[in-house]
Every structure is written in C-alpha cells, then in structure tokens.
Amino acid sequence: MKFYSYTDLSKDKVEAICLRQLEDDSSILERVKSIVTRVKNEGDKALFDYASQFDKVIMNKLYIDKEEIESIASTIPADAKSAIDTAYQNIRTFHASQANKEGRVETMEGVECWRETRAIEKVGLYVPGGSAVLPSTFLMLGIPALIAGCKEIVVCSPPQQDGKTNCYVAYCAVKLGIERIYLIGGAQAVAAMAYGTESVPKVYKIFGPGNRYVTQAKQLVQSAAGTAIDMPAGPSEVLVLADETANPSYVASDLLAQAEHGADSQAILVATSRKIIDKILERLEIQIKELPRREVTALAIANSYAVLVENLEQGMEFSNVYAPEHLILATEKFEQLIPLITNAGSVFLGNLTPESAGDYASGTNHTLPTSGFAKAYSGVSLDSFVKKITFQHISRKGLENIGSTVEILAAAEGLDAHKNAISIRLKG
C-alpha cells in the first residue's frame, strides 16, 4: 500500500491520486460493441451462442418459469432462508420509507402546481450469478422496483453449469414475486434488455452491477439505444477515515473486505497519525494470510494507498475530493463529521458499523456510484424506479394574475405565438 502525507501534496497531486481509471481499454469496448450489435440483429440466436461460448452451457431455452424457480428455491438451506428473510425485511422497511407524497403548491392566487410519482413501467435487473452467489443484489434492485410498482420487471442472471440458477437467487425471486428469470449474463444480457429479443422483453431502464463488459455495455446502450441506466459504474471502493479511537483490527478487516472484490478495487486509508496507519497495516498483513482470495486481495491492496492527515477535518477534506462509494468513519467522533460530508455514496458511522452490513442487510442500498461519481450521483433508491411528473392548473383569476408576466416574457423572446396563447384566453 502506497503512502502519502496530505500536507505535502499539492492540489493537483491530490486530484491526481483521487482519479480513478474510468475508461475501459479499447479491446473491451470493441468486443462489447460486437456483442451488443449481434444481439440487436440476431436476437435469441446470439444469446444461445454466447451461453455456449462464455458460460460453457448448452441452453434449450433462455429462461426458467415460476414452477421451476419454486422447485429450485425449495432446496435453500434453512439458515440462508432465514438470513434472506431478515435482509428482505430490513431493505423493504428502509425503501418503503422513501415513498412520500408531495403536496400541492399555490405559487400565486389561482395558479396551482404539484408533482406526482409514476413508476417506470419496464425495468431490467441484472443480477450477477454464474459461479458467484449474489442474492443481495437481487434484493437491492427487486425490492424498490416492487415498492415503486413497476409493471414489468425483467431479471437476467447468468446460468450456472447445470443451465439453471442457484437456490439463493431462486428464493429471492419467490420472495419478490418474480415468475421468470432469464438465464443470460454479461454484455449480451444488457443488450437483450435494451433492444429486446424473441424471448426477452425490451425495458426502459437497466439496473445492476457487473464486470467491465457489463459496465461498458450499459454505457453503450444508454447512448445507442436510448435505454436509461441506474448510474455510471466502475470497480468498487472504500475510504476509511480513522483516528486514535479506531480499532486497528476492525479497520483492517474493512479494507480487506473491499479489496477482495477484485484486483482493481481500491481500499483507501486516511488516518490522523502514522502510528495508527502502521497498526492497521500490521493487522492487515496478519488477516490477509487467512483469506481464500488473498492473491486477488493483495493486488487490490497494492493498488491502494494510505494518507496521513493532521486531523479528522482535513481527512474529510480529502474524502470529499475522492468522493468514495463507501465511506467508513472509524472514530468515536463521527457525529461532528456528518455535516462535513458532501461527496459519498453510503456512509458507515463508528467502529461497530462495517460496510458489510450495508452490503447485505442493514437496509440501505448497496448499488452505489463509484469512480468519483458520488459528486453528482446518488445510490439506487425508490426514486431510481420512478419518474416525477409536474402538473399545473390555472383558474380564471390565476390567468388574470399571471397573464401579463407571460405575455411580456414571450414578447421579449420574440415568440408571439406563446404570447397569443395567453392573450386569446384573457380576451375570452
């Protein structure tokens, strides 16, 4: 892990070390373009071919329906079933609290304006699967889609070696009332949902994390097909801000939890003394030896760094420039730092709040902006699955009150037809 002293860094250097690689290499982009174009033109045929090529599975059909989903779900271990039930309830409780109806506002006498919420009718959820088991992502996307009232929820997840899905994903589908899972992975799944095929319905917005191919495909269909996506995404990341009240073992575990996602993940440590940094890195070296994914984790740690700051306030200054996906405040003084946070995807407060809790079951969503996009984007929420439509109603009194204002402004812009739309009503 590299080391920097914040006071020795120029503004340009701070921005440089905070810059993540946002663009995929040209070979990935060209490959994704080829996949997306083929799915667009050939539909299901391309999807069957890619299942054989990428997933090493010969598929007879591209989906499983309710009866088979329920059969697979019935094989879930009891403890996993209970854990999913708990996570489901917590995530649902938190997201349901976001459904707030707005009131009507009279901007002037006789002029009434308001907004109403409408669900996005057709949404696509990409749930990474294959060899990895990711029921948590299914819950994080499916629950707010369900609460929002989306009429059509299309779910794509890569097939396992038996050409099916795993019992964890199947059980989540049962909990969510999803009666069909499309066994499609990678960039081809994104393309199928963006353009539609003989089997896969076209959707209006695509959600979900994935590898570099999935990420590139989402960005591509956003521009080429006009399909909305949840947010720009990149490798996962965490920034831990620690002081003398932090527990070094806890902080080390948080850094490693992030680093095990992949070699391109970043685990940034910002601390108020070199002594704290050394203690944390010492614990990190001990813990990493026990991890099954230690080789990948070590590569991510080598790609990460520690920053020495003079105090917590300076640490927050650095954090806001970095704009982390996950921000952990490993300090007993976290309350005084909350008002200073301007850029972060999700924040974990105190020494007993690991990022893992938010990844799975505390209730907040784990689909979050990465690569500095937390400066302008929020994580997935109920709002991600709805649109806000504005309404206005003007009475005769309201028209008389607002009419001259609109006429004058329309005339100033040289738009006489706009002016006349008011004038003709005032005369009537």
Structural domain includes residue 271: yes
Task: Indicate which residue of 237, 260, 325, 355 is catalytic.
Answer: 325
Numbered residues of the known binding site: 126, 188, 211, 236, 258, 261, 326, 359, 413, 418
Q: Which two tokens stand for residue 373?
A: 């996009």
In a domain, residue 207? The reply is yes
Residue 131 has a pLDDT of 59
> For this structure, is 326 an active site residue?
yes
Number of domains in the chain: 3
The annotated binding site for NAD(+) is made up of 126, 188, 211
**Cα gap 180→142, rounded to integer Å:** 13
What pTM does this model have? 0.95
Residues 202 and 318 in one domain: no
* Nearest alpha carbon to residue 171 among 263, 303, 77, 42: 77
Confidence bin at 211 (pLDDT 50/70/90): confident
Give the domain CATH number at 324: 3.40.50.1980
**Known catalytic residue at 366:** no
Q: Is residue 216 located within the same domain as residue 99?
A: yes
Q: Report the pLDDT value the prediction gives residue 234, as an integer from 0 to 100.
A: 81
pLDDT in tens, 364-417: 999 999 999 999 999 999 999 999 999 999 999 999 999 999 999 999 999 999
The parent domain of residue 412 ranges over 395-427
Task: Quickly list H helices, 241-379.
Answer: 248-259, 274-288, 294-302, 312-322, 334-337, 355-360
The verdict on 317 and 406 lying in the same domain is no
The predicted structure's pLDDT at residue 44: 98
Kindly report, residue by residue over 249-269, the tens digit of the pLDDT: 999 999 999 999 989 999 999
pLDDT at 23 over 60: no
Residues in the annotated binding site for substrate: 236, 258, 261, 326, 359, 413, 418
Q: Are residues 223 and 284 in the same domain?
A: no
C-alpha 373, offset from chain centre:
11
Quick check: helix, strand or coil at residue 160?
coil
Sole residue written with tokens 């090493």: 56
Interval 141-166 mean pLDDT: 96
Yes or no: say if 245 and 332 are a contact pair by the CB < 8 Å rule. yes
Clarify whether residues 285 and 216 are in a common domain.
no
* Cα dihedral across residues 20, 23, 28, 34: positive or negative: positive
Q: 43 pLDDT band (50/70/90 cuts)?
A: very high
Q: Are 323 and 222 in the same domain?
A: no
Whether 257 is in a domain gets the answer yes
Q: Could you tell me the pLDDT band of residue 24, with boundaries at 50, 70 and 90?
A: low
Q: How far apart are CA 122 and CA 143, in angstroms?
A: 15
d(CA 321, CA 198): 46
Determine the pLDDT at residue 271: 98
Active-site hit among 237, 260, 326, 366 = 326
130 and 76 fall within a common domain: yes
